Amino acid sequence: MKKIFLSGLLLLSASLVLGSCGQSTDQGNAETTADFTVMTTFYPMYEFTKEVVGDVGTVELLIPAGTEPHDYEPSAKDIAKLSESDVFVYNSAEMETWVADTLQDFDTEKTTVVEAASGIDLVASAEEEEHDDHADHDHEDDHSHELDPHVWLDPVYAQAEVKTITAALIKAHPEAQATFEKNSAAYLAKLAALDEKYQTALAGATQRTFVTQHAAFGYLARRYDLTQASVSGLSPDEEPSPSRLAELKEFVTAHQISVIYAEEAASAKVAETLAKEAGVELSVLNPLEGLSKEAIAAGSNYLTVMEENLQHLQLTIK
């Protein structure tokens, strides 16, 4: 009897051991690959990537909140972080102008490099061209952009970027393909719903022109048949000339603009001055180049900020 009892215990123990081994094998799959690391440059790239990666690995933000992405240059420590990651995601060579030089010594066999905006045709900003033609050239900006990099502010192009990031993540970590595809589909549906909200809200507007401090909303304007005029160019630090401010004051009056939009994370002095001189209100459009830790902790993300931008736009577009 004792022999039978002991044999039963041994069989039970063996089955438990085998069962636990089977469980660890399943969990050691895509779902718990904690050593899979992805570095992203600035906030939209971080959120787009994080939504796809989910719990499969770790997604980090290279450019901290409060740092202007247009002006950022990586330190040796930052480059070391990039080289140690499995995947590196950036928007475009036009936005992160330092990437081309950094990648010259990069081991692309170890780190998959993703240009999220690849496949999207970047265009010159009409406002930048107008500024070049008419404004005084008394301000030189080493970080000026020949093409407009702000594609993430167009919800349709945001979807294109997410798809590009998803494909690269699958290539880098094919074991997690099912998880990446599921997460990507869920987030793409949210972005598509955001696009629908913009289409519905802006469709019947008769006033379709808005004035913003930073010429970041050109792609969004084209997507929804709006016209953007900007106080400065594609870089938020650019100081407009007195003649440019005079032109904009006339423009605001002629087009019956009721609101001028400043940028939340940048100095609004120029926009405030123009709003005061033109006798119009001041509001905010967020180009989503960075979100503070406090804002993220409070629940802000790409989707919520884009919905806030839509609400603010409707102060003028109506």
pLDDT (tens digit, 9 = 90+) per residue, 162-178?
999 999 999 999 999 99
- pLDDT over threshold 60, residue 293: yes
The pLDDT value given to residue 141: 43
In a domain, residue 269? The reply is yes
- The answer to whether residues 234 and 296 belong to one domain is yes
Q: In which region does residue 225 sit, left (phi positive, over 0), alpha (psi from -120 to 50) or beta (all else)?
A: left
Position 242 scores a pLDDT of: 82
Residue-range definition of the domain harbouring residue 255: 204-313
Q: Cα(208)–Cα(221) distance, rounded to whole angstroms?
A: 9
Are residues 171 and 274 both part of a single domain? no
Q: Per-residue pLDDT tens for 181-230? A: 999 999 999 999 999 999 999 999 999 999 998 889 999 999 999 999 88
pTM of the model: 0.83
Determine, yes or no, domain membership for 97.
Answer: yes
Residues 69 and 188 in one domain: yes
> Do 168 and 189 reside in the same domain of the chain?
yes
- Whether residue 113 is found in the same domain as residue 59: yes
Q: Going by DSSP bridges, is the β-strand pair 58-61/37-40 parallel, antiparallel, or unpaired?
A: parallel
The mean pLDDT value for 37-56 works out to: 97
**Is 182 found in the same domain as 69?**
yes
| Residues 209, 93 within the same domain | no
- 20 occurs within a structural domain: no
- Do residue 101 and residue 50 come from a single domain? yes
Is there a domain that residue 169 lies in?
yes
Examine the domain organization and report whether 153 and 245 are in the same domain. no
CATH of residue 288: 3.40.50.1980
Torsion of the alpha carbons at 81, 59, 46 and 104, rounded to the nearest 10: 30
Q: Is residue 12 part of a domain?
A: no
Handedness of CA 188, 190, 194, 196 (dihedral sign): positive
Same domain, 55 and 188: yes
**What does the DSSP assignment read for 146-159?**
SS---GGGSHHHHH
In a domain, 284, yes or no: yes
- Is the Cβ–Cβ distance between 213 and 236 less than 8 Å? yes
Work out the average pLDDT over 33-42.
88
For residues 14-24, give the mean pLDDT.
Answer: 40
pLDDT digits (tens, 9 = 90+) for 234-287: 555 566 778 878 888 899 999 889 999 988 755 677 788 888 888 999 999 999
Q: Does residue 220 fall inside a structural domain?
A: yes
The pLDDT confidence band at residue 126, using thresholds 50, 70 and 90, is low
What confidence category does residue 127 fall into, taking pLDDT thresholds of 50, 70 and 90? very low
Whole-number pLDDT of residue 8: 46
Is the model more confident about 66 or about 9?
A: 66
Q: Quick one: pLDDT at residue 266?
A: 57
Answer whether 170's CB lies under 8 Å from 177's CB.
yes
Answer yes or no: is pLDDT of 133 > 60.
no
Residue 143 has pLDDT above 60, yes or no: no
Task: Please count the structural domains in the chain.
Answer: 2
Say if residue 108 is in the same domain as residue 211: no
178 and 211 housed in the same domain: no
Alpha-helical (H) ranges within the chain are: 2-27, 43-53, 76-84, 99-103, 126-134, 155-172, 177-202, 218-223, 242-254, 269-278, 293-297, 302-313
Residue 3 has pLDDT above 50, yes or no: no
Mean pLDDT of 104-130: 82
With respect to residue 285, please indicate whether it lies within any of the assigned structural domains: yes
